[in-house]
Structure 1
Amino acid sequence: MPVLISYYFVLKGKVLDTDLGYKRSRMEAWQSDEQMAHFRIGTITPDLSSVKELRLFTRDNMVSKQLLVDNIRLRENPEYTNDYRKNIVDKFGQSAKHDFPLKVHSEAELKEKANAELSRLNASSPLPDRSRFGGWKDGPKLEATGYFRTHEMKGKWWLVDPDGYLFFSNGLSNVRMANLTTLTGIDFKDESVRYVDPEAVTPEDSMGIVEVSDEVRDTRFVASDVRHDMFEWLPNYDDELADHYSYRRSVHHGPLTSGETFSFYRANLERRYGEPSPKAYEEKWQQVTLDRFQDWGFTSMGNWVDPAFYPNQQVPYFANGWIIGDFKTLSSKHDVWGSMPDSFDPEFVRRANVTITQIADEIQSSPWCIGVFVDNEKSWGRTEGSLEHRYGLILDALSKPIETSPAKAAFVKALKQKYASISELNNGWQTSFTNWQDLDNSWQPEHDTSSLEQDLSMMLEMLSDQYFKVVHSALEKALPNHLYMGARMASWGMPDETITAAVRYSDVLSFNIYKEGVQPSQWSFIKDIDLPSIIGEFHIGTNTDSGLYHPGLVAAADLKDRAKMYQQYMQSVADHPNMVGAHWFQYVDSPITGRAFDGENYNVGFVSVTDIPYKELVDSAREFNRTLYPERFNQE
């Protein structure tokens, strides 16, 4: 049966004039039965004077669909609702203006739902065909090495658990308290709160609660009325829930560059489970999470697991780390999350070893750690487009004086080995260097030649090779028994040169694929690579009956459709012979007012801000996981 929906897209008006700190979305500014359309990519405030045509297209559909578009029109914005930006969030961190199936109305209701789930979890047990590590106990028994490893059998790649059973990693990522806070609109004049230790190994978006002293709070001021007015309630500093305040010293995207934050999710955990002893609700949350994973049939956790889970012996996990520090950097000119490290800088090598030593100290050689992800979605360059799009990193290095860029020094050395003389390079690049010293200075290309493109490609592979070699060497020294899971490449940042380098040093390639599934035509290339792969991130959301404003990067019609699309995605992963797992991003919905790091406010959780599971999605995962192993193994 066709579904009839009217969408509207705001092109102009005060709803676009104020940055609320929401990524890719704006707030509903008037009462309507229609749905506001949201951005995934593009400019949220287009230049209307430059619009010449309107094109509609679909991409990356996993199943055939029929779409009827009718009555496209321009119209005036309706009358704005008074104070539409105020008091939009209730004391539980939910929408105060909309009702939806999982909405909680009282603390008593919250505790009642928690107790009902606890009773069911207490009666649950792991699936009978699972080994103690979550492998396929009813399947082939291979050599038990005591740690996870990879294995190819009958044309399909698998992980193998420490006891020798075939293993497929299906789970949820971002199982942690970090990155679940939202900006309150308050900041502090005392600069000490923004101090960052240059030797720190944890980046801002992975920090837990950052406590703020009373002395700093005395310098409190409202940095954003718009942000501060969104909340119906925030606790006073002497409230028992005030320990869920934190602080962001830097912000990737939004109207504020720093500020006070609050975690409604943590506050709701304390409301659900109480605090008979300090942080007792956190320990309860950890055990409930482990029990949920087993009850839902998941075999592991994904990336960004709170290190508090590392000692657990119930659900395998992946450790993670970021290489941060004061090393030289390069810009691709399309840096999504930040500039790229100059992997030839000795300081980068030192910082890589510092980070991985820290990971090793946290893991303590646990066999429950499958492997290690290092970094995420680096801006290596586009796979198509201009030289600047594809090789921006290399062009940035070449634009620097050689004494300031270790990468450029390495590139010039390689060019001298390739070309017998500077005149030979001039012929290939259509340049007029008088000697090699001219290239040591700042340089930018004036011509695009085939020789130049070949050399830029060579240098990008060099830069990528050095990066993966540094990380691999540090892991091999500190964690020789654990798998290197790669750098979690995004579809917008995975040039061939970088993949080629990653294959040399990774045990498993990792990709974040935010589409409806793994398209066989787009991902057939990894069949030619003698290495397994894993999906580090994917998700599907909806804004129709979830209570959130934005569905996320892949949208479903409603919660029921979301559950159906989950199975379709996971089936596409299991069907691919190189894939050894996939991790949904993330465990908990984003805050409705946007996560503090960058404003993401997506319906992408398996649980809501009140820690209530989405039944449709959980049932779908449980059904898929029940037959995961025999179906994948026996599929021709």
Structure 2
Amino acid sequence: METRLRADSAKTISEHEQSILIYDFAEQIPKAFSFSNVDAELVSEGNGITTGSQALKVTTHSKENFYTSIFIEPEQPFDWSALPNFSFAFDVTNLGRRSTQIFINIFDKQGQMHSRSINVAGGSCKTYLNELKGEFLKGGLNYESGFRSNPAAWDTPFHYATWMWGEMNIDLSAVAKIELSIHGTLIDHQLVLDNFRVIFTPECNPDFLKGCLDKFGQNALVETAEKVHSEEELLAVTAKELKALEQGAMPQRSRFSGYTGGPQLEATGFFRTEKIDGKWSLVDPDGYPYFATGLDIIRLANSFTITGIDYDHSKVAARSDDDVTPEDSKEKLEISQEAFDSAYVANQTRRDFFDWLPSYDDPLAEHYSYMRELFEGPVDRGEIFSFYSANLQRKYGQDGADYMGKWREVTMDRMLNWGFSCLGNWTAPEFYSNDKIPYFANGWIIGDFKTVTSGDDFWAPLPDPFDPVFRERAEATVSQVKAEMQGSPWCVGIFIDNEKSWGRMGTINGHYGITIHTLGRSDEESPTKAVFTQALKDKYGTVEQLNQAWGTNIDSWQAVAGGVSDLAHNEAQLSDYSMLLELYASEYFKVVNESLKAQLPNHLYLGARFADWGCNPEVVRAAAKHVDVVSYNYYKEGLHPEPWKFLAEVDMPSIIGEFHIGVKEGFFHAGLVTANDQTERGEMFEDYLNSVIDNPYFVGAHWFQYIDSPITGRSFDGENYNVGFVGITDVPYQPMVDAAKRVNGGMYQRRFKNAKK
């Protein structure tokens, strides 16, 4: 006899919710529902019927289609503005084995989006809450917490959706559309949905985050398999791991971690690229085929979290005008005793999160630092502390030992033992002198050069590469990288910059934002605009011919030079937008490449790591002209075939610079891509990496990141994800280690199975 799963339990629901029913599928699929790449039907028996006699069963076609969505669009927008604090809620039953990540995107009539995410475990039936109105949403405690996402501020048996992006507070008087989206996954999903409703929020606990961290930086209220409870336990776990690492590196690896079981090619003494058996590949300095798997952020810079304390700013060293390292990439800023003496509480709510922080005369006080500027967070600037580095001292610093030296040694032993072939991007330069495992170097071009905008500058405005100051700063950046590398053949290649806001596909203003905004500026203020004006002159000759193509009435080229806006975006204009965007991006990559090759001619230029939200075809084509390897950061469950069709046309060696999968176990945010537990996280890591290994254009992939984010958020921007191979106590997640050994152990045989030795 089949057991019908009900969300949480009928008793739990009746005891914990006061709600308003929206949809229950009692008679038919409501007219408000529509589907994209999804099969939908009503079911009257089986798991997942949580109210009434029927529920909605959906099957996604995710293998063939990148996006699969369920849309709810009422004839008249919902007006929920007069309701007390509440959450939009619904029940989900997952009929499959693998968990399903669902993005809940809620739009108001003006198009503002509120986006959260849930992970529905395989075989489970649960109620999920998407809080839309509450005293601790953004504008309340969220500003003071500094987390990317807070947990629910009240006791609930239900599952609280994780904040992702968009507007926290949309117009609740006109909720026009709700989208349940499943995208970027490698498998089809089968779910049963029921009981869409509004649930009123019970009384909140204003101290729900007070004392949430223990002295090791772990969640004080949650038990996990990796959690340590004493320094003695930490030392015992460490001793056990060090014993296991004595097994050493994997077989059939060259000294540079290349594949000795395949063909040996020309040895040039440095890393290079070549096609092997029709597949792009890296080749190590000794001539062996090489595939780059590694972990990013092997450094302490991102391990710090805001404490809520600040100092007299005059007691803190100021940034240098010619600094080439962004604030969030600084390993540590030394704090003077004078600064410590001026300490005061700048944010009491934030300070109360910590069950323990060392006094300033404690030996662990050396793990305090200071952040002089934040991207976003609970304060503008302030004291930060690294529980991770404090735990390294507890583990490896007994009797005054060199704990950082030991950490670097253990880290390299881990990478080799786990089968990784490199240290990924944002590895601390202290690792560059090693002769055990290759690494990737990086630099940032920062300085007082002119900028352009895409209209959606996520991290920062873009540089104006036609400004001579940009070239000067690019050369300064490469000089710094060169000094750190010291001619090492162990450097696979160099990334410069990261996730620039080139423009978002999907709309004209998003795609061509750089061109459109720059055309509206004057030649005098913008070097890029002056180049655009000249390019249009070269193409059309006369302003009359420009007007004929564009359907405009521009008086003269002088008027174009002064700035043109409010264009109609006809076909000729769109063609020119595309031309000018590629012209702009080509100059950026050209300047960087020339700066790099002038000083480091033997090393590979790996581009600027395109985010999937800023990866326009014009910019990819521009990069392909000047880089040795095109780099992409791609946060999905794997290389879904649909968005990567363009690779055949570009035909360039490519690399994944970032990907991750996280778990919301002991954390308040799992990350951008989620699993149900650590075992499944390892399985999904393996599936992702295999999808890269099987793609003939990719030459590697780097997981983001080595170390978990602090549970209370990294200091620069509050990112608080469980995405590390090791936790805050430097204890590895064993399911991730096991998965890495499986996939890394067979990657060369899988990649080069037909290559002749």
Q: CA deviation at 1:32?
A: 3.2
Q: Aligned residue for 1:189?
A: 312
Which residue does the alignment assign to 2:370?
Answer: 247
Tell me the SS of whatever aligns to 2:280.
strand
3-state SS of the aligned residue for 1:70? strand
Equivalent residues in 2 for 1:151-170, closer than 5 Å: 151-170=274-293
- Amino acid corresponding to residue 208 of structure 1 in structure 2: E
1:56-205 matches, cutoff 5 A = 56-81=180-205, 83-121=207-245, 123-191=246-314, 193=316, 195-205=318-328
Alignment of 1:164-563 (within 5 A): 164-191=287-314, 193=316, 195-274=318-397, 276-277=399-400, 280-386=402-508, 388-543=509-664, 545=665, 547-563=666-682
Supply the distance in 2 between the matched residues of 1:233 and 1:193 (Cα, whole angstroms): 24
Q: Tell whether the 8 Å contact from 1:169 to 1:300 is kept in structure 2 after alignment.
A: yes
Matches within 5 A, 1:33-48: 33-48=157-172
Counterpart contact for 2:662–2:681, Cα < 8 Å: yes
Kept in 2, the 8 Å contact 1:188–1:259? The answer is yes
8 Å Cα contact 1:130-1:137 kept in structure 2: yes
Q: Look up the SS of the partner of 2:422 in the other structure.
A: coil
Tell me, yes or no, if the aligned pair for 2:340 and 2:360 is still in contact at 8 Å: no
Q: Secondary structure, in 3 states, of the residue corresponding to 2:699?
A: strand
Aligned partners of 1:390, 1:530: CA distance in 2, in Å?
A: 23
Q: Find the aligned partners of 2:567 and 2:648 in 1 and give their Cα distance.
A: 39
Q: Deviations over 1:128-176 (max 9, x none)?
A: 1111110111111111111111110111111111111111001101111
Task: Output the CA distance in 2 between the equivalents of 1:57 and 1:401.
Answer: 42
- SS of 1:493 mapped into structure 2: coil
Name the CA distance, whole Å, in 1 between partners of 2:311 and 2:506.
Answer: 45
Deviations 1:22-56 (A, max 9, x none): 45412332233332111333322332212134332
**Against the structure 1 CA distance between its residues 456 and 292, is the aligned structure 2 distance closer, same or farther, given a 3 Å change threshold?**
same
- Cα distance in structure 2, aligned partners of 1:635 and 1:610: 43
Instruction: Give the root-mean-square deviation of aligned CA atoms.
Output: 1.6
Q: Which moved more, 1:504-513 or 1:206-215?
A: 206-215
User: In 1, are the aligned partners of 2:268 and 2:285 still within 8 Å (CA)?
Assistant: yes
- The answer as to whether partners of 1:190 and 1:219 remain within 8 angstroms in 2 is no
Task: Please state if 1:577 is matched with 2:696.
Answer: yes
Q: Deviations over 1:524-565 (max 9, x none)?
A: 21122231100000000010x3x1111100010111111111
TM superposition shift of 1:350: 0.2
Deviations 1:73-110 (A, max 9, x none): 21111332351121111111111121221111111111
Closer/same/farther in 2, CA of residues 548 and 540 from structure 1, 3 Å limit: same
Matched letter for residue 256 of structure 2: F
The Cα shift of 1:5 comes to 2.9
Query: Cα distance, 1:617 vs. partner?
Result: 0.8
SS at match of 2:748: helix
CA 1:23–1:379: 2 relative to 1, 3 Å: farther
The alpha-carbon distance between structure 1 residues 201 and 380, as it changes in their structure 2 partners (threshold 3 A), is: same
197-206 or 398-407: bigger deviation:
398-407
- TM-score of the superposed pair, with normalisation by structure 2: 0.81
Identity of paired residues, percent? 48
Name the CA distance, whole Å, in 1 between partners of 2:350 and 2:613.
31
Contact 1:302 1:318 in 2 (8 A): yes
Q: Distance in 2 between matches of 1:604 and 1:417?
A: 50
TM superposition shift of 1:431: 2.8
Q: Which moved more, 1:41-50 or 1:177-186?
A: 41-50
* Matches of 2:707 and 2:744, distance apart in 1: 20
Take 2:312 and 2:287, find their aligned partners in 1: how far apart are those partners?
Answer: 57
Which moved further from structure 2: 594-603 or 18-27?
A: 18-27
1:358-407 Cα deviation digits (max 9, x unpaired): 10111111110000000000001112203x21222222322222211111
Quote the Cα distance in structure 2 between the aligned partners of 1:415 and 1:312: 51
Contact 2:316/2:339 (CA < 8 Å) preserved in 1?
yes
SS for the counterpart of 1:343 is: coil
Give the SS at the match of 1:41: strand
User: Which AA in structure 2 matches 1:306?
Assistant: A
Give the equivalent residue in structure 2 for 1:568: 687
Q: Does 1:588 align with 2:707?
A: yes
CA distance 1:456–1:607, change in 2 (3 Å): same
Alpha-carbon separation, structure 2, partners of 1:442 and 1:612: 57
Q: 1:605 aligns with which of 724, 730, 755?
A: 724
- The SS at the match of 2:643 is coil
* Structure 1 residues 192 and 323, CA gap change in structure 2 (3 angstroms): farther
Contact 1:527 1:577 in 2 (8 A): no
- Rounded Cα–Cα distance in structure 2 between residues aligned with 1:103 and 1:275: 21
Whole-Å separation in 1 of the counterparts to 2:637 and 2:752: 23
Alignment check: 8 A CA contact 2:145 2:349 kept: no
TM-score, normalization by structure 1: 0.97
Distance, in Å, in 2 between the alignment partners of 1:4 and 1:321 is: 47
RCO higher in 1 or 2 (8 Å CA, sep ≥ 6)? 1
CA distance in 1, matches of 2:585, 2:517: 15
1:619 to 734, 738, 755: 738
**Cα separation, 2, equivalents of 1:23 and 1:218:** 28
Query: Does structure 2 conserve the Cα–Cα contact (< 8 Å) formed by 1:182 and 1:591?
Result: yes
Distance 2:634 2:178 in 1: 27
Q: Secondary structure at the match of 2:673?
A: coil
CA distance in 1 between partners of 2:516 and 2:318 (Å): 33
Which moves more between the two structures, 140-149 or 581-590? 140-149
Deviates more, 1:240-249 or 1:70-79: 70-79
Task: Give unmatched runs, 5+ long, in structure 2.
Answer: 1-96, 98-122
What residue identity is the alignment partner of 1:373?
F
Structure 1 portions without partners, runs of 5+: none
Count of residue pairs brought into register by the alignment: 631
1:21 and 1:253 in contact (8 A); partners too: no
Letter in 1 for 2:310: D
Moved over 3 A (4+): 20-24, 275-278
The amino acid across from 2:434 in the alignment is N
Q: Describe the shift of the 1:82–1:257 C-alpha distance in structure 2 as closer, same or farther (beyond 3 A).
A: closer
| Residues 609, 631 of structure 2: 8 Å contact kept | yes
Asked if 1:50 is matched to 2:169, the reply is: no
> Could you say which structure has the higher strand fraction?
2
C-alpha distance in 1 between matches for 2:605 and 2:406: 31
Shift of 1:596: 0.7
